[in-house]
Structure 1
Amino acid sequence: MSSKQLPTALFLMGPTASGKTDLAIRLRQTLPVEIISVDSALIYKGMDIGTAKPTQEELALAPHRLIDILDPAESYSAADFRRDALREMASIVDDGKIPLLVGGTMLYYKALLEGLSPLPAADPAIRSEIELEAQQKGWQHLHDELASIDPVSAKRIHPNDPQRLSRALEVFRISGNTLTDLTQQKGEALPYRVHQFAIAPEDRAVLHQRIEKRFENMVSAGFEQEVKQLYDRGDLHPDLPSIRCVGYRQMWDYLAGNASFDEAIYRGVCATRQLAKRQITWLRSWESLTWLDSNQPDLALQTVIDAMGCDSK
């Protein structure tokens, strides 16, 4: 099938606080699109304020798929996202609409575009074996083991990150191949004709101001109480992907007595800035990307509409 015969999809990427949701809602009201969230934090239930999840009013205007699908105690991989996104995209196309994928989790976009590396499925027996070794010898010992078989992964994975460390060792013990070797192999490409856009303020200082203002609004909206509800559950801990989300990790430290409230806010803002910087760096190397200025929302909207008009000719 030629690229022109493939169904169309839209990607709307960008750093945190760049205006993706606002533009997506306007696109939903203008074009025959349905929105799929591409965000590793919005998947969690009960994490609304700190993730800047679209409000009920916004979701009424523009429903988002793949929001509120997991409990914070659960993990969600890029493979899980690709499976779910492909299912939702096919459903949207079957309804005669265009999938609009909106968010800032670049790893999810990469997995969707390029396919997944041929990593083995999890093996509960081997995972239990690794956890037992960790209890007996410590995670540092297992990290040293990883460094001897896969130094590239060991350099990237911190000894205090048991989830990723365990997975890297599990992959090697199942397949005999390192995580580094397997992840260099590409999977099946996305069977869609994709128009890719990224939105951000041209001035980085404006983005920093937006991040600080958003954090202030989150605190005013009850962010501390939201994290306290998670903290008080008793079954969550800082090593979970949900609690590692920017903002949550810092507020968790405050509730655990490891930082003052002001320190938690300051660190949360800094961590969000660092996240935005990583997102922009990743996008700067992205191919076939049209940049939109979030300080010119009308022009951004028209640019996307024009691209879709060209696609239909």
Structure 2
Amino acid sequence: MTRRQTILIAGPTASGKSALAVRFAKETGGWIVNTDSMQVYDVLDVLTARPGPDDLREAPHFLYGHVPPSLAYSTGRWLADVDHLLKTEAAGERPLIFVGGTGLYFRALLGGLSAMPDIPDDVRTYWREQDAKAGAGQLHAILGEKDPLAAAALRPTDSQRIVRALEVIDVSGRSIIDWQKETGTPLIDSASARKIVIDPDRAWLRDRIAQRFQAMLEKGAVEEVKALLAFGLSSDLPAMRAIGVSEITRMLAGSISAGEAAELSTIATRQYAKRQMTWFRNQLDDDWERLAYP
């Protein structure tokens, strides 16, 4: 566990986290580390609101866009990548600023990952086949019968996590929620880290989300989706479920207009931000500083 100077900045999408991280990096000479599960993917630069050229010139950024969209990147893979970064000679004892909107990444960083049961290949194959045949909604209903606790915590459309929960309950007879409560080894010292969560005014955030998505369309989001679709990837992959991908795909197919794509994506982003804010309010301890604005 490292006791280097560490700053954690959590918050919903479009809340100004990246700008705050750059400010701290300039003040401390630190590095910025991505703590967002969608900003790890290559191709989706604009659409996932990765730091732009100006931010990248201001401070070194790590674990952004380093994963091909053909892979399903996990919290465990991210934690291993962070561990590797911490051990590099260049990192030394340099301050690190972790910034993002993925609560599970912050939880893993501070508490480690709990042990999970090994999933036999036949169980893994079975539930993936069921997902392909029946879809996430039906599997979510099955999970509700087998593991109501996990079902209540997962969106009915989140096929990847639903399948994972079904695998775990089948193999172990225990809810994945119970497994997740068993802490592992943290990578940083929680007591010495400065922990900040941005909890913005909702009306302000709603306006900012609408403005930002319109800017994304103007800066190349459509071209990014075209490039992503050219890979011919499964729609179940996380990168394919990034907000805006399905909406722009429908626009490109001619089933909805550009205005409708923007409206639907904005609505989905606002709903996502609301889920993030709820998670942070319920899951982060009182030792996190809460800022209304960055």
- How far apart, in 1, do the equivalents of 2:207 and 2:131 lie? 43
- 1:99 corresponds in structure 2 to 96
Please give the residue correspondences for 1:124-273 in structure 2 after superposition, counting only pairs within 5 Å. Answer: 124-132=121-129, 143=140, 145-157=142-154, 161-192=158-189, 193-199=192-198, 201=200, 203-237=201-235, 239-273=236-270
Q: CA deviation at 1:195?
A: 0.7
Alignment-derived partner of residue 65 in structure 1: 62
Following superposition, the deviation at residue 168 of structure 1 comes to: 1.9
Tell me, in whole angstroms, the C-alpha distance in 2 between the residues paired with 1:250 and 1:138. 19
**Counterpart residue identity of residue 210, structure 1:** R
- TM score, norm. by length of structure 1: 0.81
Alignment RMSD: 2.8
Q: CA deviation at 1:171?
A: 1.6
- Contact preservation (8 Å) 2:47, 2:221: yes
Cα distance change of structure 1 residues 143 and 290 upon mapping to structure 2, 3 Å threshold? closer
What does the per-residue CA deviation read over 1:86-133, in whole Å, with 9 as the maximum and x for residues that have no partner? 332344895231111011112211222222222124543431233345
Corresponding residue for residue 117 of structure 1: 114
- Structure 1 distance, partners of 2:280, 2:153, is 20
2-structure distance, mates of 1:218, 1:75: 24
Q: Higher mean Cα deviation, 5-14 or 25-34?
A: 5-14
Corresponding residue to 1:33 among 15, 30, 34: 30
Task: Report if aligned partners of 2:4, 2:93 keep a CA contact under 8 Å in 1.
Answer: no
- For residue 9 of structure 1, the aligned residue among 6, 9, 24 is 6
When the two structures are superposed, what TM-score results if normalisation uses the length of structure 2?
0.85
**Aligned amino acid, residue 262 of structure 1:** G
- Residues 251-296 of structure 1, C-alpha deviations (whole Å, 9 max, x = no match): 23333555332221101111111222222223333221113353xx
SS at match of 1:177: coil
Query: What amino acid is the match of 1:82?
Result: L
Tell me if structure 2 keeps the 8 A contact 1:92–1:98: no
1:212 offset after TM fit, Å?
1.4
CA distance in 1, matches of 2:9, 2:23: 12
C-alpha spacing 1:232/1:94, structure 2 compared with 1 (3 Å): closer
Where relative contact order (Cα < 8 A, 6+ residues apart) is larger, the structure is 2
Single out whichever of 145-154 and 12-21 deviates more from structure 2.
Answer: 145-154
Partner-residue secondary structure (3-state), 1:10:
strand
| CA distance in structure 2 between the aligned counterparts of 1:141 and 1:276, rounded to whole angstroms | 26
Q: State the distance in 2 between where 1:86 and 1:292 align.
A: 28
SS at match of 1:242: helix
SS at match of 2:238: coil
Cα offset, 1:38, TM superposition: 0.5
C-alpha displacement at 1:145, in angstroms?
4.6
Q: Secondary structure at the match of 2:230?
A: helix
Partner secondary structure for residue 243 of structure 1: helix
Bigger Rg, structure 1 or 2:
1
The residue type equivalent to 2:47 in the other structure is G
Aligned positions, number: 290
Superposed CA offset, 1:32-65 (max 9, x none): 3111110111100010111111123421321211
Unaligned stretches of 5+ residues in structure 2:
none
Q: Hey, what's the Cα distance between the residues in 2 that align with 1:117 and 1:66?
A: 22
- Alignment of 1:274 with 2:271, yes or no, is yes
Q: Which amino acid aligns with 1:52?
A: A
Q: Which moved further from structure 2: 63-72 or 239-248?
A: 239-248
Q: For residue 224 of structure 1, what is the amino acid of its counterpart?
A: V
